[in-house]
């Protein structure tokens, strides 16, 4: 069926929410850090993560189009134990993920306003604000807000990218020694980078939940190609911006001897400076505003996503007759409170908090990916909605990729291999 503008607009939205979730920590923090520390040495790792993780995110949107149900209901249809596995794994990662994105957002806000308020206190205020907006607002408000913010960031990043490429790479300092990928800390960072590139695989359930919510909002059930067009647009944006941020880090910071700070406010200033070095000092306020807006959009999307996904999971497992909105609100509050506690405990070092969140996401990724593959290939899905052979084969390759790197991380982290090559 041909794509029409009218129907595409009705389906359009969940892909932007997905992109907003991705662009935060994985791009602003990890991609920039990859370029600053390794130059262009990690481009292939980023591309590999984007390619091999693609099917498992796409399956969330595909399942919603096929069944008009969330991927979580697909888990339950495969057996209650499947949903339990998702529930337990998500419990292990969602608080660190939310804490990490919120703490970075707090640094961006302090940098924008020039305030020196404790980032932990600012983080708590941001979480409270997000919960209040989502509790009284609707999906439409979130959808509209993120479309505007996403457009601003996309334009500013592309302009900065072009300017950075035109300006050329910074001159390395005398005696500069590049980091070796075979070093233990380097390998751990690479795993952390891929863990959230473009984001954690367990967030694939959010695509289906947002697609269902969009259907309710518009009253229109989009065709498979319309849903997938929306998803591919969002995924394409995240892929392009990942390379842009790595390029900014590589061209402006690599070899200069300047390292990204573990302090969230100083880090925020460094990221904004990446843009202003390419565009000029006049752009500082504009970029600082765009950077904060982007991180805030990621934070509010993460709070919404975990609240929606885990709220629905709790309802399906324990309170089938409960109101979905009620479980959503209570889960949002729970996520915000416990994530704030994580921030209080781990806020001394931004890098450690981010690496913990991203690494946990990557280690559990093979399990979530396999579950998604099992659900979408089920006989309960009409043949027309199942993945084509090339996508099925890519998914199998992706499972191998995720499993191998998860095992490598475990081996390196616990010193089970000798890295003295």
CA distance 307 to 375: 22
Note the pLDDT of residue 24: 73
Instruction: Find all residues with CB under 8 Å of 193, minimum gap 6, and list them.
Output: 26, 30, 31, 33, 34, 42, 45, 46, 49, 358
Tell me which of 206-210, 229-233, 262-266 is least confident: 262-266
How do residues 318-352 score in pLDDT, each as one tens digit?
Answer: 988 888 889 999 999 999 999 999 888 876 665 66
The angle that helices 80-113 and 119-136 make with each other, rounded to 10 degrees, is 120
More confident residue, 419 or 20: 20
Higher pLDDT, 52 or 36: 52
pLDDT at 393: 97
Q: What is the mean pLDDT of residues 217-239?
A: 88
The rounded distance, in Å, linking the Cα atoms of 131 and 123 is 12
Q: Evaluate whether 358 touches 333 at the Cβ level (below 8 Å).
A: no
CA distances from 152 to 91, 147, 155, 158, 240 (A): 33, 9, 5, 10, 15
Euclidean distance between CA atoms 108 and 112, whole angstroms: 6
Q: Select the more confidently predicted residue: 43 or 89.
A: 43
Q: How far apart are CA 94 and CA 306, in angstroms?
A: 7
Going by pLDDT thresholds of 50, 70 and 90, the confidence category of residue 297 is confident
Domains of the chain: 10-167+176-413 (1.20.1740.10)
> CB-based burial of residue 81 (10 Å sphere; 0-12 exposed, 13-18 middle, 19+ buried)?
exposed
pLDDT above 90 (res 123): yes
- For residues 148-174, give the mean pLDDT: 77
d(CA 323, CA 136): 16
Give me the pLDDT at residue 2, please: 56
The distance from CA 242 to its chain's CA centroid, rounded to whole angstroms, is: 11
Give me the percent of the chain exceeding a pLDDT of 90. Answer: 33
What pLDDT does residue 143 have? 62
pLDDT confidence of residue 331: 94
Report the range of poorest mean pLDDT among 44-48, 84-88, 97-101, 368-372: 97-101
pLDDT score, position 316: 93
Tell me the average pLDDT across 60-68.
93
Q: Band of the pLDDT at 311, cuts 50, 70, 90?
A: very high
**The pLDDT of residue 373 is above 90:** yes
The mean per-residue pLDDT over the stretch 382-400 comes to: 95
**Which are the contacts of 123, defined by CB distance < 8 A and separation ≥ 6?**
99, 102, 103, 105, 106, 340, 343, 347
Between 263 and 122, where is the model more confident? Answer: 122
Q: Output the pLDDT for position 418.
A: 62
Mean pLDDT of the chain, nearest integer = 84
Residue 126 has pLDDT above 90, yes or no: yes
Q: pLDDT band at 134, cuts 50/70/90?
A: confident
């Amino acid at each position: 069926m041909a794509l029409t503008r009218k129907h595409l607009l009705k389906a359009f939205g969940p892909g932007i929410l997905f992109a907003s979730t991705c662009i935060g920590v994985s791009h602003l923090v990890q991609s920039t850090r990859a370029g600053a520390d390794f130059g262009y040495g990690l481009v292939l790792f980023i591309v590999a993560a984007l390619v091999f993780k693609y099917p498992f995110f796409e399956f969330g949107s595909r399942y919603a189009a096929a069944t008009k149900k969330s991927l979580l209901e697909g888990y339950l249809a495969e057996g209650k134990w499947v949903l339990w596995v998702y529930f337990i794994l998500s419990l292990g990662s969602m608080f660190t993920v939310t804490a990490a994105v919120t703490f970075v957002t707090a640094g961006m806000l302090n940098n924008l306003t020039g305030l020196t308020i404790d980032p932990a206190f600012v983080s708590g205020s941001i979480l409270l604000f997000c919960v209040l907006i989502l509790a009284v607002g609707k999906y439409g408000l979130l959808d509209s807000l993120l479309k505007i913010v996403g457009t601003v960031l996309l334009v500013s990043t592309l302009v900065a990218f072009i300017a950075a490429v035109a300006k050329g790479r910074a001159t390395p300092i005398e005696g500069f020694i590049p980091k070796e990928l075979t070093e233990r800390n380097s390998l751990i960072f690479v795993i952390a980078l891929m863990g959230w590139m473009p984001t954690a695989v367990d967030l694939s359930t959010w695509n289906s939940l947002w697609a269902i919510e969009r259907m309710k909002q518009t009253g229109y059930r989009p065709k498979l190609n319309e849903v997938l067009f929306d998803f591919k647009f969002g995924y394409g944006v995240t892929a392009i911006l990942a390379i842009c941020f790595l390029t900014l880090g590589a061209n402006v910071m690599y070899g200069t001897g300047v390292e990204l700070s573990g302090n969230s406010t100083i880090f925020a200033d460094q990221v904004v400076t990446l843009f202003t070095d390419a565009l000029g000092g006049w752009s500082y306020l504009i970029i600082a505003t765009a950077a904060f807006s982007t991180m805030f959009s990621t934070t509010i999307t993460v709070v919404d996503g975990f609240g929606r996904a885990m709220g629905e999971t709790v309802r399906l497992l324990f309170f089938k007759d409960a109101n979905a909105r009620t479980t959503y609100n209570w889960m949002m509050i729970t996520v915000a409170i416990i994530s704030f506690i994580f921030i209080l405990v781990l806020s001394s070092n931004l890098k450690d908090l981010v690496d913990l969140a991203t690494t946990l996401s990557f280690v559990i990724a093979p399990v979530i990916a396999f579950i998604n593959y099992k659900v979408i290939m089920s006989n309960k899905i009409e043949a027309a909605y199942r993945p084509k052979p090339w996508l099925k084969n890519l998914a199998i390759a992706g499972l191998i990729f995720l499993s191998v790197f998860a095992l490598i991380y475990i081996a390196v982290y616990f010193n089970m291999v000798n890295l003295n090559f």
